[in-house]
Structure 1
Amino acid sequence: MIITQPVYRTVLAVDVENSTARNNRAKGLLRHHLYDLVAEALVLSGIGVRQHDPFIDRGDGLLVLIYPCDQVPKTLLLGAVIPTLSRLVAQHNARYPAVPIRLRVVLHAGEVHYDPRAPFGEALDIAFRLLDAPAVKEALRHTTAPLVLVISGELYRSVVRHGYPGIDPIAFRPMVHLRVAGAWQFGWVHVPDGRWIARPVTGRSIPPAAS
């Protein structure tokens, strides 16, 4: 098998909280709404289908690989896509209380390979490990917000810490520390609407978000 050359992608993945507790009919409705919500958040932020791969299904979530182009900087994803998705999910929950959705979302970036089956590579391994980290799941349980975001340490260093317009570094908390492919990876957790709850998360306390 020939391994393709790596290509750079921004990785956006989402996972629905407690999806396994729902019956099959509810899961079908959930998946339908989830795809619509993520697609709408991208379009409303100015990201069209020509700027990312087709959505990749993950059962109770999905993966979007976004092309590295000037029209889709990471600041757009952090400052527009994520808050827009949070707002859309909140509106969905108000409109469809019988099919509520709460999400864990991860943003990372790096080199990705493709084969005929699916994309793969260390960047995806890191993204999925961050998304599934116990601290991120616990953070979502301890907030009333519809969405919790975790970003990689690399994304924090290269974008968030510089305080670009619409991105507040103080609103990101270093809450994830895990080992992937022989190296330590750090994750920074953010609640877009600031609804943190002061509850212990893996030995840490979550203080109120800075205004």
Structure 2
Amino acid sequence: MNENLIEAKPRHRLLVANDIPGFSRRDEAAKIAVRQALYTITQNACEAAGVRWRAIRHEDRGDGIFMILNSAGLETLLTPLLRETLAGIRRHNRSVIDPQHELQLRMALNDGYVHQDPYGVTGEAVNLLFRLLEAETFKRQLKESTADFGLIISDSVYRTATGYRLIDSKDFTATCVDVKETRTHAWTYIPSGS
């Protein structure tokens, strides 16, 4: 056996990443305010969906959060978590006076096998998650809609969720993803009335 090989221990996980568009264009006080709002909304949404925040492995991304969920299922993420996140964003935006403190959020959801080590997680599922989040077509859809929330999910998540009727396929739009070496299609949801 080659001693240089690291023993991989892949585990299937649900992966979520979110990002605040236009974060770097805000002044420092606004960045602090919207980061605090992002964490408050995300933690509250997880708890309301029955996913304990302390049980989630999460990594700060400056203008977003990367979350690895060990035990929550799609039925948790595609219903209560999204509903609570959207409600939290809308409550926050109604309460602020300064437009720089308003929150718009992009969220990506994928599932797959990842290798977890002391530094974090790695794997194709992680790469795809962040390619989805950065897809120009998704960014453009959200910007043109002026909505305060948008979700993009991988094709595998979409097929599973529609197959089990966790989501309504009419709410989602097929979207091309062409980021770095990744060329695939995914599905976006941008709720009306945002």
Question: How high is the TM-score relative to the length of structure 1?
Answer: 0.82
Taking the TM superposition and a 5 Å limit, the aligned residue runs for 1:119-130 are 119-130=121-132
Give the corresponding residue for 1:209: none
One-letter amino acid matched to 1:62: I
Cα 1:48–1:175 shift into 2, 3 Å: same
Cα 1:97–1:132 shift into 2, 3 Å: farther
One-letter amino acid matched to 1:64: M
Give the corresponding residue for 1:81: 81
Please report how far the alpha carbon of residue 52 of structure 1 lies from its aligned counterpart in structure 2 after TM superposition. Answer: 1.9
Give the corresponding residue for 1:153: 155
Gaps of 5+ in 1: 197-211
Please report how far the alpha carbon of residue 180 of structure 1 lies from its aligned counterpart in structure 2 after TM superposition. Answer: 7.0
Give the corresponding residue for 2:117: 115
| Identity fraction in percent | 28
CA distance in 2, matches of 1:3, 1:104: 35
Whether 1:17 aligns to 2:21 is: yes
**Contact map agreement 2:176 2:183 (CA 8 A) in 1:** no
Give the corresponding residue for 2:63: 60
Cα 1:179–1:29 shift into 2, 3 Å: closer
Please report how far the alpha carbon of residue 178 of structure 1 lies from its aligned counterpart in structure 2 after TM superposition. Answer: 3.1
Give the corresponding residue for 1:169: 169
Give the corresponding residue for 2:91: 91
Of the candidates 129, 141, 144, which is equivalent to residue 143 of structure 2? 141
Cα 1:77–1:144 shift into 2, 3 Å: same
One-letter amino acid matched to 1:189: T
CA distance in 1, matches of 2:183, 2:33: 38
Larger deviation, residues 76-85 vs 146-155: 76-85
**Contact map agreement 1:15 1:103 (CA 8 A) in 2:** yes
Give the corresponding residue for 1:190: 189
One-letter amino acid matched to 1:86: L
One-letter amino acid matched to 1:144: T
CA distance in 2, matches of 1:102, 1:61: 11
CA distance in 1, matches of 2:54, 2:105: 25
**RMSD of aligned alpha carbons:** 2.0
| Secondary structure of residue in 1 paired with 2:80 | helix
**What is the total number of aligned residue pairs between the two structures?**
188
CA distance in 2, matches of 1:18, 1:179: 19
CA distance in 2, matches of 1:38, 1:10: 16
Please report how far the alpha carbon of residue 195 of structure 1 lies from its aligned counterpart in structure 2 after TM superposition. Answer: 4.3
**Contact map agreement 1:10 1:108 (CA 8 A) in 2:** yes
CA distance in 1, matches of 2:163, 2:187: 11
Question: How high is the TM-score relative to the length of structure 2?
Answer: 0.88
Whether 1:33 aligns to 2:31 is: no
Gaps of 5+ in 2: none
| Secondary structure of residue in 2 paired with 1:110 | strand
One-letter amino acid matched to 1:36: T
Alpha-carbon deviations, 1:105-134, whole Å to 9, x = none? 001001111233222211110000000000
